[in-house]
Structure 1
Amino acid sequence: MRNISKMSTLEQKFPLLAIENGCIISKDADITVAFEMELPELFTITSDEYEAMHSTWYKSIKVLPNYTIVHKQDWFIMERYESELRKEDISFLGRAYEKHFNERPFLNHSVYLFITKTNKQKMMQQSNFSTLCRGNILPKEITDKEGVNAFLEAVDQFERIMNSSGFFTLKRFDADEIAGTSEKPGLLDRYFSLSESNHASLEDIRLGADEVRIGDKILCLHTLSDTDDLPAHVVTDYRHERLSTDRSDCRLSFAAPVGLLLSCDHIYNQYIFIDDSAENLKKFERQARNMHSLSRYSRANQINKEWLEEYMNTAHSKGLTSIRAHFNVLAWSDDREQLKHIKNDVGSALAMMECKPRHNTIDTATLYWAAMPGNAADFPSEESFYTFIEPALCFFTAETNYKDSLSPFGIKMADRMSGKPLHLDISDLPMKKGITTNRNKFILGPSGSGKSFFTNHMIRQYYEQGTHVLLVDTGNSYQGLCSLIQNNTKGNDGIYFTYTEENPISFNPFYTDDKVFDIEKEESICALILTLWKGEDKYIEKTESNELGTAIHNYIRMIHKDEKLIPCFNTFYEYLRDVYRVELQSRDIKVSKDDFNIDNLLTTLTPYYRGGRYDFLLNSQQNIDLLSKRFIVFEIDAIKDNKDLFPVVTIIIMESFINKMRRLKGIRKMILIEEAWKAIASANMAYYIKYLYKTVRKFFGEAIVVTQEVDDIIQSPIVKESIINNSDCKILLDQRKYMNKFDIIQNILGLTEKERSQILSINQDLDPKRKYKEVWIGLGGTQSAVYATEVSMEENLAYTTEEREKMEVMDKVEQLNGDIETAIRQLAEQKREIIRKEESSQT
C-alpha cells in the first residue's frame, strides 16, 4: 500500500543502521568507510604534480573491488574570522590587527571521502526505489563475510597508496566523529544541518518535489549526469590567466571553478561507481548490435551505434575500466533573492569548465538524501553516466585553501584570496620537519614592493613572542616600531642608536649589568681597540694582539676590585697610559717598540679619549647593557661613509649580537641587516656575517639580510656563498621590475620553475577592496606559497616609511607630549572615519 502520509520522521526514513569498527552499516547491508582528507594548498601545484595526483587517484581506485562507490564530498562554507581579542597578553598593535580582521568572511574548505561496498542490484536501482520512497526499511543481514574482509583490505591498500603519495593525507573517522557526541556534532549532524556546529535535531528538513529546505536554508542543485552536458575534452589542470604571465604559469585543477573559486555556501559531490567492467562492455556489445539492426529506421540509431563502438574500442585497445560517474553542486541560502545570484554563479562556474549548466529541480531531494555520509548506495543509477576512471578523475577538486601551521610560534599573514589571517611558522616547524636546516632568511624586494612593511610586521610579532631582536638599518625603517616599544616599556627597551650632530651615537663597550666579562667579551673589546689602532687593512702582529689582550684582561680585573672605577674607554686609556706602560718598562724581559709600540697605540687612540674629536663614541654615560635589551636598532646611514666611526660601530654591533647569542641560553634571538651592501662594504662586517650565518642556528638564533638587489650580496665574495647557501628561508616580494633579468635571480637563488611561477604571480590579482601587498615565502626549496601582508591602520602608521605619514605621526606625538601609542590610535581613527565618509558618499 502506498504511503500517503504527508510527513515522516527522520527515524522512519533513516537508511543507516549502525556504526561498527569505524564503518557505517546501512539497513541494506552496505558498508562505508569514511575519511577526512587533506589536499595540497591552492596555487602551490604544478602541472606535473596535478598529473601525479591524478595518477595516485587512479592507482588507488584500481585496487577497489567491483560494486564499490567512491564518494568524495567537498564542503565550502562561508565563515567569519574569530579574533583573539580575549587574550590577556595581547599588545596594542596585536589588538589592532585582530580588530582589523574581526568577522572577516572566508570560505572554509573540508574534504570527506566515503568508500561504500554494495551489490550489483543496489548499484542499478533507480530513484523510484530510494529509501525516501519506501514506507519501511527492513534491515538486511550481511551474508558475504569474506567479501567484507576483502573490501576492508582493499580500503586499507587504497589508504596506503594515497598517504604515501605525499600529496594527500587520509584520516579515518571513528564512531564519535561520524555520529557525534553530546558535546560535539559529528558528520551526520553536520550534513542534516548544513552547518559546522549545529546538531541535526535543531533543524527541520523539508524534502519536497518542488523545494528542499534544511531549516531556513533553501537548496539549489546543479548536476553533471549526462554526457551531453560534459565538455568535449577534459584535463587534469588548466592555466589560471589572472595569476599567469607570459613568462610563468599558474595552474589550477579542472574542477577549481566549482571549488574554492565559487564563493558561496556549497557542497561539491563527486561519485565514481565501480561496476563489473567486463559485464558493462558485453551489455554495450548487445546494444550496439540492436542499434545496428535498427539503423535503417533512424540515423540516430546509427550514430549511437558508432558512439558505443568507439567507447568499446577505446576500452579494449587501452585496457580502460568502464565505470559510471556523477557530479553535482549543492548550494544553499536562506534568502531567495541571494539564491538567484548563487544559481547564476554556479552556472557560470560550470560554464568555465565548458560544461552545460543543468539546474536540477526534480531530483534535489533524492540526490541530497543519497549524498548523506554512508548512503551512496542509495544513489539513483539513471543520474550517472558511463565513462572511464581517468576522465572522471579530472572532475575531482585537487586543492584546498591555505592551512595554519601547527606550532605555538609563528607570525600572522593573510590568505591571498580571502584575506583570512593565517598562523605561519617559518622558523621552528620547518626545522622540526626537516624541510630546513637553519632559521636564516634572505629577503629580496625592489623599492616600493613592501619590504619594510613585511619586515616590520614579522619583527614585531617575533619580539612580542620573546625574541631578542637586533636591527642594522639604513633608512629609519624601524623608528616608529622602536618608539612604540620605548613608549610601552617606559624606556626600558627599544634602544635606537643613530648619529646626529646634536646627539651623536655613543656606546660603552666596557659596561655590563652583571660585570661578567667572558672570553668572547674580552676578545671583542680587543678586536675593537685593534681596529681603532691599526684600521681594517694593516697586518697585526701576534705580540701586539697578545699584549693588548693582557692589558684588557688586567683592566677588567681592576674593575672587579675597585668599585669606584667607572668602566669606560676613558679609564681604560688612563690605565694604559699610567699603569700598563709603566709595568711594561719594569719587566725583566723587555718588550721592544717593534713588538708592541704602546706610545703609538696611545697616540692613535687619543681622538677617542676625553677632549678628543670622537670622545663621545666609547664613553656613553647611559650605561646601557645591550645583553638585556630585547629590541635594538642601529641606524648607520649617517656614518656608513665615515672611515673612523663606521668600523667601530660595526664591531660593536656584531659583538652585541654574538654576546647575546652565546650568553642567552634557550632564548630566541634574531639579527636583521637592512640594505646589506652598505654594511658588507666593511671587511670586518663581512667576516662577522659569514661567521653568523654558519653558527647562529646552534644558538637558537637566526640571521636575516634584506636587500633590493641580489647583486648587492654577490659583490662581496666573502658573503656571497654564506648568505644564500645558509638561508633556507627565502622571501621575495614583487619582482616585476626585474622581469627581464629574473632568469639571473632564479639561477643565483636556485629557484625551481614552480617557485618562479609563484613569485611572478605576486600582486597580479589584488583585491581592490583590501589594502595589502603579497610576498612569496620559500622553505628549503620544497615548500613555498604566496601570502598577503595586510595590516591594520594602526600598524600601517607604526611601520610606514613614507615621509609624509611619518611626519604626520611625529607631529601628533609632539602634541601629545611623546605618547606615540595614543597618537597612532587617534590618527588611525581619523583615517578610518574619512574612509567611511567616502564610502557612504559613493553609495
Structure 2
Amino acid sequence: MSNLLLPSATLEQKQPIYKIESDCLISKNGDVTVAFRLNLPEIYTLAQHDYEALHSAFVKAVRLLPNHTVVHKQDWFVEDKYTASFEEEATMLSHAYERNFNERPFLNHYCYLFLTKTPSSRENWTSLSTLLSRSKIVPKEMMNEKLLSSFFNAVGQFVRVLSDAGIGFTQLTDEELTGTEKKTGLLEKYLSLNMSDVAPMTDLDFTQGLKVGHKICQCYSLGNLDDLPMALSTSARHSNLSTDYTNFFVGFSSPVGLSLNCNHLYNQYLFVDDPAKTLKTFEKKRDNLNALSLYSRQNAINKEFYDQYLNEAHSEQKLPVRAHANVFAWTEREAELKELRERVGGGITLMGCKARENTVDIGALFWAGIPGNAGDFPSEETFYTFAEPACCLWSVETNYRNSSSPFGIKLSDRITGKPVHVDISDEPRTKGIIANRNKFVLGGSGSGKSFFTNGMVRQYHEQGSHVLIVDTGNSYKGLCELRKGVYFTYEEKKPISFNPFFVVGSPDVEKRLSLHNLLVMLWKRENEDVSQSEYVSISSALTQYYQWLAANTDIQASFNTFYEFLQGPFKSYLDTEKVREQDFDMHNFLYVLKPYYRGGEYDYLLNSEQQLDLTRESFIVFEIDNIKDHPILFPVVTLVIMDTFLQKMRQLEGVRKMILIEEAWKAIATPAMADYLKYLFKTVRKFQGEAVVVTQEVKDILDNPVVKDTIITQSDCMILLDLRKFMGKFDEIQEVLALSEKQKALVLSINQDRRQNVRYNEVYIGLGTTVATVYGVEVSKEEYVTYTTEQAEKIVLFNKVKSGLSMEAAIQSYAQELREAG
C-alpha cells in the first residue's frame, strides 16, 4: 500500500488578510477589523459588584454595534520568566533580591480585542466556507463608505463605554499588526504561537489535529448550549480565599485564565447578526415545532424553549447573538499531553461547563482566531443566546501590574510570587487616589509587620529618602548598621546620649523653640505654668548663647557649655538688667538643671561628644524600649525625636522624608508626643514627607482617640497583615478602619492560599477608598537575615559582626549558611 502525500499550500497563499490600511485589518472576504490591546483590572482586586458593573458595561457596549459585527476577544497566557535587573549602583540587598527572583516562572497575560464588520450575515458560514478550505481566493469588493463610517462611529462609542468602566484601550498600529524588520507583528506571533518580538515563522500541520512548529495543540470549545451550566454568572466564589465570614470572588472564566497554569489562548466570540431576522427565523421554527408537538415530546420541549427565548427577547428587549468560547493549549512534549488535557479540562469543569475536546474543527477554529479573521468563524460551532449570558464568558482580569512611577517598593503577586514594582506614595497621590502619603500598619504578633516595614524603609532610603524610626525591640538594628545610620539606644554600660545644642550655622526659629521646650520640660513639672518673664529669659539665654559661641569658636556647643554660659555671662547680663528673682529665678533654674551638667546623674544625656547634625543624617533609629517608662529619659528623648524630624521637614526642601513609629501606644504615652503626632500627620504632606505608625494591638485602634481620630483619619494608605486571630473583633476593626465588604474579604484572605514550599507572608495595601490589593512579601536570604526579628537569628548575625566581619559580610555569610542548610 503506497503512502499518500497530502497536498500542501503556502501560508502566503492561504492567509486570510488581504491588506492592512489605516490601522485596520482587511480580510479577503471584505471584512474590516479594528484591533485593540486591552488593559484589564488586576486579578484578586474586584468585588462581586465590580464584576457585575463590568458585565453591564460589556453588554451596553455590544448593543451599540451594528448588525453583522463580530466581537473577538483573545487572551494570551504565555509562560514567561522574570528577568532580573542588575544595576551597577544597586546595593547588596537589591542585588540579592534580583538574584533570588531571576527566571522566576509566571504566566504573562496579553489581552486583545478585535471588532470585525462583515459585509453580510455569516450565520450559515461553515468550516467548509473558510478561506482555509477554499481552493480559490477572490477578494470581494470592500464595503461602502457609509457602512464603514457607521461602524467606526460604533467602535468609538464601544471603546468609550468600556473605558468609562475602567478598561484601558490602545489601538494597534499597522506596524504592531504586521511587524517590522526587527520586530514581529501580532499576525506572525499568532501563526507561530510565540509572543516574542523575534518570533520565527513556523509550519502549520493540520493532518493530525494541529501542530504549530514543534507545538502540539489541544482545543477545548464551548460551542453548544449543552456544554454550559443552567445559568451563567459574572463571578464565582474562590473557596480557598473565602472564609466563614467572607466570600472572595473571582471572574467566572478565571479557571481558564491566569489560574490555568500552562501556555494557552482563551478566545471569546460574540456575533451580532440581524436581530429581526434571527427572531423571525425562531418564530418560524417555533410554529413548525408547535405543529409537530403532538408527534414528539421533544418537539414540545423545543417549542417551549423557543417560546421562552422569544418572550425574553421581546419583553426585556434583549439582544439575540451567537457566541462561542474556546481554549487553545499547547506543549512541545508529547509526554505532557495527558497532563495538559487534565489541566484544561479541569479548568473548564471548574466553570461548571463540559470540557469538550475539539479535534475535527481544530484547524478551522485556529484559522478563525487569526486577528482580523473572526468573520471566517464556522457557524456550526456557535450557539444562540443573548448578549448578557454571552458576556459572562469573557475574561476580565489580568496580571498584577508594575507602577509606572520610578519610585516604589518591590512586592510579589499572589499567584507565582513574581516581583511587582508598587508605588504606594507618589503615583496614587498624583492620580488623586490619596490626599497624603501617611501610612497606618496593623498586624498581630508574628504577622510580619516589622519584616515588611524593614523592607519598605530600606527601599525608601536607597531611593534617597531620609528615614527616622522610633523603635521598640531592636527590629531595625541590623538594617541601620548596614545603611550606616545612627542608632540611639539605652544600655547600662552605654546610656543613650544626644547633643541637641549642636547645629550647623545659626539655629533657626524652630530649633530655638525646640530647645526652649526642652529646657522648660527639664525645669518645670507638667502642671506648672511658665510666666511671660520666664519665657523671655530662656529665649534671651538661647539667643545670647549662640552669639557667645560665634565669638568663641573654640568652644563646642553642648548642654555643659550652655550651663556654664548661664553661670557666667548670662548671670552677669541678668544682674546688669536687674531682673528680679520673682521674674526669673536663676538660682532655681540652675539647681534643677544641674543633674544634666558635668558630674550630674544624667550628664551623659545631652552632652554627646559626637558632633552629629541629625538633620543631615539620612537614617536614624531611636530605640526606646528600655526607657519607655523612665520619667526623665523618655520625655527628653521624645522632644529630641520631635525636634529632629521637624528640622528635617523645615530644612530639607525637595528631599523625601519618612518618620516611622513602631508600636504606637508607647510613643504616644505623653501628651506632648500625642499633640506632636496630631500636628505631624496633618502637615507632613506639605513637606514631601510621610508619617507611618505601626501597631500590633487592636485595642490601640479601638480605645485610643489619638490613633482612631488622628492617625487613621489622616492615613490614606492602610497596610494590614494577618488579622485572623482578631476575627471575633473584626466587625469593630472594620468600622474603625472604614473597610468595605470587598476590603474585608481581601484582608481576611491574607495567607489563606499560599504557595507550597515557599517562605513568605502576605500584606494588604489599601489606598484611599478605591484601591485595595494583597501582595506577597517574599525576600532573598540576605534580606531575611537583615530584617529578622527572631532573637536566635539576630544573635547569630551580630556574633559574626563581633568576630570582625562588616555587617554586609556578616549578612552574606549567614545567608549562604541558610542556603546550604536548605
Q: State the TM-score bracket (shorter-chain normalisation).
A: over 0.9
Q: Does the 8 Å CA contact 1:680/1:716 hold for their aligned counterparts?
A: no
Tell me how far 1:595 sits from its aligned partner: 2.0
Structure 2: segments with no counterpart, 5+ residues? none
Distance 1:99 1:538 in 2: 60
Q: Are the structure 2 counterparts of residues 474 and 239 from structure 1 closer, same or farther at C-alpha, using a change threshold of 3 Å?
A: same
Q: Which among 593, 596, 600 is matched to residue 605 of structure 1?
A: 593
State the SS of the aligned residue for 1:306.
helix
Q: Are the structure 2 counterparts of residues 752 and 296 from structure 1 closer, same or farther at C-alpha, using a change threshold of 3 Å?
A: closer
Q: Which residue of 2 aligns with 1:504?
A: 495
Distance 2:286 2:708 in 1: 71
Q: What are the Cα deviations for residues 656-696 of structure 1, in whole angstroms up to 9, with x where unaligned?
A: 11111111110001000001111100111112111111111
Tell me how far 1:297 sits from its aligned partner: 4.6
Q: Does the 8 Å CA contact 2:122/2:379 hold for their aligned counterparts?
A: no
Q: Which residue of 1 aligns with 2:815?
A: 828
Tell me how far 1:123 sits from its aligned partner: 4.3
Distance 1:44 1:666 in 2: 34
Pair 1:120 & 2:120 matched: yes
Distance 1:288 1:446 in 2: 64
Q: What are the Cα deviations for residues 171-226 of structure 1, in whole angstroms up to 9, with x where unaligned?
A: 211111211222322211221221221445x2322231413122211111000011
Q: Does the 8 Å CA contact 2:68/2:121 hold for their aligned counterparts?
A: no
Tell me how far 1:738 sits from its aligned partner: 0.8
Q: Does the 8 Å CA contact 2:702/2:733 hold for their aligned counterparts?
A: no
Q: Which residue of 2 aligns with 1:133?
A: 133
Distance 2:196 2:712 in 1: 47
Tell me how far 1:770 sits from its aligned partner: 1.2
Q: Does the 8 Å CA contact 1:258/1:349 hold for their aligned counterparts?
A: yes
Tell me how far 1:43 sits from its aligned partner: 1.4
Q: What are the Cα deviations for residues 257-297 of structure 1, in whole angstroms up to 9, with x where unaligned?
A: 11111111101000000011121121122222333344455
Q: Does the 8 Å CA contact 1:189/1:198 hold for their aligned counterparts?
A: no
Tell me how far 1:715 sits from its aligned partner: 4.7
Distance 1:95 1:675 in 2: 31
Distance 1:261 1:694 in 2: 43
Distance 1:302 1:690 in 2: 75
Distance 1:581 1:713 in 2: 49
Q: Does the 8 Å CA contact 2:701/2:736 hold for their aligned counterparts?
A: no
Q: Which among 553, 563, 568 is matched to residue 563 of structure 1?
A: 553
Pair 1:647 & 2:635 matched: yes
- 2:528 alignment partner AA: K
- 1:695 alignment partner AA: T
Q: Does the 8 Å CA contact 1:686/1:719 hold for their aligned counterparts?
A: no
Q: Which residue of 2 aligns with 1:840?
A: none
Q: Does the 8 Å CA contact 2:246/2:745 hold for their aligned counterparts?
A: yes
Q: Are the structure 2 counterparts of residues 199 and 10 from structure 1 closer, same or farther at C-alpha, using a change threshold of 3 Å?
A: farther
Q: Are the structure 2 counterparts of residues 77 and 328 from structure 1 closer, same or farther at C-alpha, using a change threshold of 3 Å?
A: same
Q: What are the Cα deviations for residues 426-462 of structure 1, in whole angstroms up to 9, with x where unaligned?
A: 0000110011111110101110110011000101100
Q: Which among 203, 221, 225 is matched to residue 227 of structure 1?
A: 225
Tell me how far 1:28 sits from its aligned partner: 1.4
Distance 2:290 2:305 in 1: 12
Q: What are the Cα deviations for residues 43-90 of structure 1, in whole angstroms up to 9, with x where unaligned?
A: 1111111111111011100010110000011111111100112x1111
- 2:106 alignment partner AA: F
Q: What are the Cα deviations for residues 541-586 of structure 1, in whole angstroms up to 9, with x where unaligned?
A: 2221221011001101111121111111101001111111121111
Distance 2:235 2:701 in 1: 38
Distance 1:508 1:227 in 2: 80
Q: Are the structure 2 counterparts of residues 293 and 720 from structure 1 closer, same or farther at C-alpha, using a change threshold of 3 Å?
A: closer
Q: Does the 8 Å CA contact 1:67/1:123 hold for their aligned counterparts?
A: no
State the SS of the aligned residue for 1:203.
coil
Structural mapping, 1:301-700, within 5 Å: 301-486=299-484, 494-512=485-503, 514-587=504-577, 590-700=578-688
Tell me how far 1:814 sits from its aligned partner: 2.4
Pair 1:796 & 2:784 matched: yes
Q: Which residue of 1 aligns with 2:54?
A: 53
Q: Does the 8 Å CA contact 1:13/1:136 hold for their aligned counterparts?
A: no
Structural mapping, 1:647-796, within 5 Å: 647-713=635-701, 715-718=703-706, 720-796=708-784
State the SS of the aligned residue for 1:355.
coil
Task: Tell me which moved more, 133-142 or 302-311.
Answer: 302-311
Q: Does the 8 Å CA contact 2:408/2:424 hold for their aligned counterparts?
A: yes
Q: Are the structure 2 counterparts of residues 392 and 309 from structure 1 closer, same or farther at C-alpha, using a change threshold of 3 Å?
A: same
Q: Which residue of 2 aligns with 1:195?
A: 194
State the SS of the aligned residue for 1:626.
coil
Tell me how far 1:527 sits from its aligned partner: 1.0
- 2:233 alignment partner AA: V
Distance 2:576 2:115 in 1: 94
State the SS of the aligned residue for 2:712.
helix
- 2:47 alignment partner AA: T
Q: Are the structure 2 counterparts of residues 472 and 322 from structure 1 closer, same or farther at C-alpha, using a change threshold of 3 Å?
A: same
Structure 1: segments with no counterpart, 5+ residues? 487-493, 836-843
Q: Which residue of 2 aligns with 1:285?
A: 283
Distance 2:120 2:556 in 1: 95
Q: Does the 8 Å CA contact 2:252/2:393 hold for their aligned counterparts?
A: yes
Distance 1:496 1:742 in 2: 37
Q: Which residue of 2 aligns with 1:176?
A: 175
Distance 2:253 2:422 in 1: 28
Q: Which residue of 1 aligns with 2:146?
A: 146
Distance 1:785 1:537 in 2: 47
Structural mapping, 1:76-115, within 5 Å: 76-85=77-86, 87-115=87-115
Tell me how far 1:95 sits from its aligned partner: 0.8
State the SS of the aligned residue for 2:261.
coil
Distance 1:208 1:398 in 2: 32
Q: Which residue of 1 aligns with 2:256?
A: 258
- 1:666 alignment partner AA: G
TM-score in terms of structure 2 length = 0.98
Q: Does the 8 Å CA contact 2:30/2:119 hold for their aligned counterparts?
A: no
CA RMSD of aligned residues (A): 1.5
Tell me how far 1:317 sits from its aligned partner: 2.5
Q: Does the 8 Å CA contact 1:59/1:161 hold for their aligned counterparts?
A: yes
State the SS of the aligned residue for 1:438.
coil
Q: What are the Cα deviations for residues 480-515 of structure 1, in whole angstroms up to 9, with x where unaligned?
A: 1112223xxxxxxx1110000111111111213x32
Q: What are the Cα deviations for residues 587-614 of structure 1, in whole angstroms up to 9, with x where unaligned?
A: 1xx3222221111110000000000000
Distance 1:654 1:716 in 2: 21
Distance 1:738 1:654 in 2: 33
Q: Which residue of 1 aligns with 2:806?
A: 819
- 1:110 alignment partner AA: Y
Q: Are the structure 2 counterparts of residues 715 and 311 from structure 1 closer, same or farther at C-alpha, using a change threshold of 3 Å?
A: closer
State the SS of the aligned residue for 1:377.
helix
Q: What is the identity percentage for the equivalent residue pairs of Structure 1 and Structure 2? A: 50
Q: Are the structure 2 counterparts of residues 663 and 697 from structure 1 closer, same or farther at C-alpha, using a change threshold of 3 Å?
A: same
- 2:690 alignment partner AA: E
Distance 1:717 1:353 in 2: 48
State the SS of the aligned residue for 1:614.
coil
- 1:440 alignment partner AA: N
